[in-house]
Structure 1
Amino acid sequence: MPFIGAGLHLLVALFFAIHAVRTGQPLYWLVILFMFPLLGSAVYFFAVFLPGSRLERGARRTVAATARALDPGRELREARAALEATPTAQNQMRLANALLEAGQPQEAAEAFEICLKGPFASDAEIKLGAARAWLEAGQAGRAVNHLQAIRADQPGFRNDQLSLLLARALAADKRHEEARAEFEHGLARFGSFEAHAEYAIWALQRGEQALADKLQAEIEKMCRSWNRHTQELNAPVLRRLEAARR
């Protein structure tokens, strides 16, 4: 039995090692995972895997959606009040995120840009938020600039999320061949539902029906194994996909 337990620990460590290599994590993680397979796997799960996973993002979205339903303007009011009381970079970032969640992307983008003028000028998380806001505000070129800067400065930062957002921003900026290449890159490397769906939406908008049908077939395979929670989590993207197909 001890041998079975040790083998299981090594399999878990191997899974996380493959994830580390695929997502461009620093090589010291491989040393940690194989020198201390049980403890290393636990640390990697909480430090790297969970923060970038759809599970954690889905939980955040669910909590945020519930809070907005109960009091839609609460977080934005509290963020504004916090910044007025204590004008720190952290409170400025909180306001920027609250504005973005409240559907005010232009003001959110401007708030993120203020954050990037201080000691957090190279912060990848803030640049990612700014990119999301500029894309939603209809200024895709500015989103592309931030995303490409993140990739150049921190190649291992949220690779799957960054790739998908960059592909969408390139498409919105009418740089369609670059967008196609980025969609293909994300699909080959990560193969997520979101990558398939966003690529299919782009293909439908471009009139590439054969490509869209091929992606749709893969999407339908994925959907067959979903539970109710996964369906609810992906409902917004599915609605956009259905609208594109119509």
Structure 2
Amino acid sequence: MSPFFIVSLLLQIACCIHVARSGRPMYWMLLLMVGSYLAVLVYVFVAVLPDLRHDPSGQRAMRKVRAQLDPGRAARAANRDLQVADTPENRRRLAEESLRTGDFARAEEAYRGALRGLYKEDPDLLLGLARAQHALGRAQEARDTLQTLRTANPDFRNHEADLLEARVLAETGAMDAALERFETVSQAYPGEEARVRYGQLLRQAGDQAGAAAQFRESLERSRHAPAYYRREQKSWLDLARRELAAVQD
């Protein structure tokens, strides 16, 4: 059986499954099984692509593909929108896209521009500003911004804000406060980053046993976690293994 035929058969079967799940007329199945590649191509353009454009999960997948092919596309679009209408929402979009693509200076500028009027104390904007400041190597400014966020929004809860706060405390020399913050954050953070960073800070503070315990906990948790979790956390789990090996040497 030739590879050409096998690929055609697999594509036809996949399209037939789509026909059944989407509730389309059954004559599509007959056309697909008779028409081979041509029928598959027609069906994809007529049925699959329109479904992707309207399905939320399909839209997310298409956005992800576009972002990989052209990482700066969304940032350019946000910048064009800002040129047309200088609004807090457009500044927020530009700031978020700039932060995502690593243009931290532009992100900081856009976040500052958005923090005006009714949005002057917006917690998400303040968190974004702190993230940009931290990425630019200005830990004390990021710490001050987070303090402003906490003062203005005492009920705001965000795992990323908690982790960033712990990091900037450590980076600005507040070691005791950082260790206390990391201990709390690592217990609730949805992933292994906080726990591994906590272990690194414990090691830096001279608590080798405590550091090893954190690295072991990350690795032990991963053994009982679903496969997708291990894939998502691979970089942190690999780092935990290296750090544990270094502590044990």
Normalising TM by the smaller chain, what interval? 0.5 to 0.7
CA distance in 1, matches of 2:117, 2:210: 44
TM-score by length of 2: 0.65
* CA deviation map 1:192-224 (0-9, x unaligned): 533312212323444532221010121112111
Q: Following superposition of structure 1 onto structure 2, how do residues 9-158 of structure 1 map, counting pairs within 5 Å?
A: 66-158=65-157
Most deviating of 222-231 and 199-208? 199-208
SS at match of 1:162: helix
Give unmatched runs, 5+ long, in structure 1.
1-60
Cα 1:81–1:127 shift into 2, 3 Å: same
AA partner of residue 179 (structure 1): A
SS in structure 2 at match of 1:119: helix
Q: Aligned-pair distance for 1:238?
A: 3.7
2:163/2:185 contact within 8 Å kept: yes
Larger RCO of the pair (alpha carbons < 8 Å, separation 6+): 1
Q: Secondary structure of the equivalent of 2:167? A: helix
Alpha-carbon distance in structure 2 between the residues aligned to 1:94 and 1:169: 25
Give me the TM-score of the superposition, normalised by structure 1.
0.66
Distance 1:82 1:161 in 2: 28
Distance 1:140 1:242, change over 3 A: farther
Pairwise CA RMSD: 2.6
For residue 225 of structure 1, report the CA deviation from its aligned partner: 2.0
Give the match for residue 227 of structure 1: 226
**How far, CA to CA, are the matches of 1:183 and 1:62 in structure 2?**
34
Asked if 2 retains the 8 angstrom alpha-carbon contact of 1:79 and 1:95, the reply is: yes
Note the C-alpha offset of 1:191. 6.0
Number of residue equivalences: 185
Partners of 1:241 and 1:68 lie apart in 2 by 30
Q: Name which one, 1 or 2, has greater alpha-carbon Rg.
A: 2
Letter of the aligned partner of 1:169 in structure 2? V
Amino acid at match of 1:91: N
Aligned to 1:182: 181
C-alpha offsets along residues 97-130 of structure 1, whole Å, 9 cap, x if unaligned? Answer: 1111111112211221121133310100100111
